[in-house]
A and B are shown apart, each in its own frame.
Chain A
Amino acid sequence: MRRLFKTDYMQDINLWRQQGAKFWYGLLVAAVLAIPAFAGEFYIGELAGLFIFAVAGVGLMLLTGYTGLVSLGHAAFLGIGGYTEAILLQRGVPFAVSLPAAAVVTGLAGVAIGLPTLRMSGLYLAIATLAFGSIIGTVLQKWDSLTGGFDGLPVKAPTLLGVDLSGPLGVYYMSFAVLLFVIFLVLNILRSPLGRALVAIRDSEVSAQSMGIHLAYYKTVAFGLSAAITGLAGALFAHYVRHLAPDAFDILLSIQLVTIVFVGGLGSLHGAIFGAMFMRLLPQAIALVRDDLPNWLGRMPGLEPSIFGLILVLCIMFEPMGINGRWRKLKAWFNEFPLHKASAFRRQKSYAKSERLR
C-alpha cells in the first residue's frame, strides 16, 4: 500500500504527481522513440496512424469528456485541418508555418460552429454538429477549384529544416511530437482555471454560472481549442494518407472519434489514448485471427463494424468509465494490495438534482 505525503501546494500543480510517474512515462517515451529501430515499415505506419487518432481523440475529449458537449461532426475539423495543410503546402507555404496555420484555421471553424450552437446541448447539439459535418463534407466535394473535388488533392512532402518528413518514419516522429505537445497543452488547460471552468460547465451549468463562469465564452473556447487540436490531427492525417479525398471525412469517421472517447473513458486523457489504441488495433487483431475463424464467421460481411458496435454497447452497459476505468481499478487494486475494497468504485446513487432552470 502506498500513500502520497504532500508537503507543498505545488505538488498538486506540477505535471508529475510523484517521482515514479516521471520514470515510467519517460520509459514509455523512450520506448516509442526506439520502436522504429527494430519494427517493420508496416508497423511504423500503423503506430503513426494510432498517434494521429490519439491527437484527434485528445481534441474531442476536451470537448466531450471535459466540457460535456457531444460532437458528431469532428471529422469535418479533421478534414478542414487536412485540406488547409495540403492547400497551404501546395501554395508554397513552408511546413513550419502551415501546420500551426492548419490548427488556427480549424480553431476558427470550431468557434464558428460553437457560436450558433451555444444554447444547445445533448442530442440537439449532436444533430447540429452532424449537420455541420455533412455541410463541410459537401463543401470539400464541390469546391473543385480549391479542394480538387472528387479527384482529391495530393499532399506535398513536408520538410522541416531541410529534412524530408514524408516517409513513414517522418510521419511517425512528427505525429508523436504533436501528440506529446497536445497532451502537454491539455494538461495545462486542466490544471488552470480554464480547465476547471470546463468541468464545471459539464457538471452543472447553473452553478458554474453563479460561480462567475461565462458559459458562452468558455463553451466557445472549448469548441475552438478542440477543433484546433483536431485540425492538427487532420494536418498529420493529410501527410499520413498523402492524397486527400473528400469521402474520407464522413460521418463514419466522426462516429469512430466518438467511439474513441467513449470506449477509452470519458473525462480522462488516458482514455483518449486507450481509445485510439482500441480503434486502430482492433481491425488489425480481427485481420490476424480472421483466417483461423470458421468460414461462416471469418468471411462474414460487416464483421468489423459489428464487433465495434458490440464492444461499444458492452462498454456503455458494464464499464461506463471505459478502458481507463478498468485501468484505474487495476491500479487501485495493486496500490492497496492486501486491503483492496470491492466497494471502492461502486457507483453511488445520485441525489435529486434541483429542477433545471432553463
Chain B
Amino acid sequence: MNLFHVEDIGIRFGGIRAVEGVSFAVKRGEVFSIIGPNGAGKTTIFNLISRIYNPTTGRLFFEGQDITTIAPHRIAGLGIARTFQNIELFPNATLLQNLLIGRHCHAKVGLFAQLAFLPSVARAEVEHRKRAEEVIAFLGLQRHRDSLIANLPYGIRKVVELGRALCTEPKLLLLDEPSSGLNVEETVEMAFWIEDIKKDLGITVIMVEHDMKLVSAVSDRVMALNYGRILAMGTSAEVQSDPEVIRAYIGGEA
C-alpha cells in the first residue's frame, strides 16, 4: 500500500531543470533513501514535497489525496514533517519551546482564548507538554530541556530537529541529510533512531543522505538521482552496484 507517491514531477528555475520527470512511490512503513551527487536535486524534491516550491510539472499524492496545490503550512497538519540539511531550529528559544512549536499543527485553541489564557488553553498546553516530554524521553534529551538552542552543540541540535519533526506526530518523515556534520558515534546513534522511528513509532521515512553506510544500514529501498533524473532504484546493494550510479559518482568513460 503506497502512503505517498509522486507522478512525473519536475521543476525548472529559469533554464535549469533541477528535477525532471521523477516518479516514485513510498510504501507505508518503509525507509526510502534518495542519494546522488551534489546538485542532483535531492533537497529540491524535499522542498517540492513540503510545498516550498511549486512544481512546474507533475503531481504529488499523499494517502491518495492530491497535495500538489495545498498551502505549505497545511502540509504538517496532513502528517508530513521534515528536517533541514543545515538545521533550521529556532535558536533563541529553548529546546522545549522548539518541540512545542512542533505541536503547533495540533493547536486548536482560538485567538481570544489564548489572549485571556483560559483554563482550556492551559489544559491543552499541559497535553502538548506531555507529548513533547514523550519525544524528549524517546531521544534522551532530558538534560538539555531548558537550554537555548544557540547554546547547544551541533550534534544535539540535529537530534532536536528530529524531535521537533516527531512532535508533529507525522505519518511521513522527511530527513534531509540526518548525518551531515555528525561524528561516527552520533551517526550510529542516528541510524538506531531511524530504525526505532520506523519500527516502534511506525512512521514512514524518506531520507536524503550521503553517508552510504547509514543508507545501507536503514533503507528498504534507495533511489539514485543525477541532474534531476532518476538513475536507479532498488535495494541499497542493487543501486550501489548499478554501473550508471558508479559512473555518476566516480566518473568513467563517457
Contact = CB atoms under 8 A, between A and B. Distances in A.
A1 interface: no
Instruction: Indicate the member of A204, A207, A213, A215 with the most B CB atoms within 10 Å.
Output: A207
Interface of B: 47, 50, 52-53, 71-77, 81-82, 84-93, 96-97, 100-105, 107, 109, 111, 114-117, 121-122, 125-126, 129-130, 150-151, 154, 157, 164, 168
B34 to A, nearest CB: 17
Interface string A172-216: 000000000000010011011110110110111011111111110
Contact of B101 (A197, A215, A352): A197
A31 interface: no
Contact of A212 (B74, B109, B111): B74
A196 B104 contact: yes
A206 B97 contact: no
B155 to A, nearest CB: 11
A166 to B, nearest CB: 30
Given A192-B121, A193-B114, A203-B89, 9 more contacts: A10-B122, A13-B129, A204-B90, A210-B50, A210-B72, A211-B164, A213-B73, A215-B73, A354-B87
Interface of A: 9-10, 12-13, 185, 188-189, 191-194, 196-197, 199-200, 202-204, 206-215, 221, 267, 347-348, 350-354, 357
Contact of B88 (A194, A197, A353): A353
Contacts of B88: 204, 206-207, 353-354
14 contacts: A188-B114, A188-B115, A196-B97, A197-B101, A199-B92, A202-B90, A203-B91, A209-B72, A211-B104, A213-B101, A347-B150, A351-B86, A357-B47, A357-B53
B168 A212 contact: yes
Contact of A348 (B71, B121, B150, B168): B150
A208 B86 CA distance: 15
Contacts of A197: 101, 104
B120 to A, nearest CB: 11
A13 B125 CA distance: 8
B75 A210 contact: yes
A13 B111 contact: no
Given A12-B129, A192-B121, A212-B168, A207 B114 contact: no
B105 to A, nearest CB: 3
Instruction: Indicate the member of A10, A203, A348 with the most B CB atoms within 10 Å.
Output: A203
A267 B93 CA distance: 10
The DSSP consensus for interface residues of chain A is helix
A282 B74 CA distance: 49
Nearest to B93: A199
Contacts, number: 124
Contacts of A208: 90, 101
Contacts of B103: 193
Contact of B126 (A9, A189, A199, A200): A9
B84 A207 contact: yes
Contacts of B96: 12
Nearest to B181: A351
Contact of A214 (B50, B73, B85, B97): B73
Contacts of B86: 351-354
Nearest to B176: A354
A211 B168 CA distance: 7
B52 A193 contact: no
B124 to A, nearest CB: 8
A202 B90 CA distance: 8
Nearest to A206: B88
A196 B114 CA distance: 12
Given A211-B164, A212-B168, A357-B47, A193 B90 contact: no
Contacts of A351: 86-87, 154, 157
B205 to A, nearest CB: 16
A221 B111 CA distance: 9
A267 B114 CA distance: 19
B106 to A, nearest CB: 8
B105 A211 contact: yes
Instruction: Indicate the member of A206, A211, A215, A347 with the most B CB atoms within 10 Å.
Output: A211
B196 to A, nearest CB: 22
A354 B157 CA distance: 14
Nearest to B107: A193
Contacts of B130: 9
B169 to A, nearest CB: 11
Given A192-B125, A354-B85, A354-B86, A200 B114 contact: no
B125 A212 contact: no
B101 A196 contact: yes
Contacts of B82: 210
Which 10 A-B pairs have CB atoms at the shortest separation, nearest pair first?
Answer: A212-B105, A212-B76, A203-B90, A207-B88, A354-B86, A192-B114, A193-B107, A188-B117, A214-B73, A204-B88
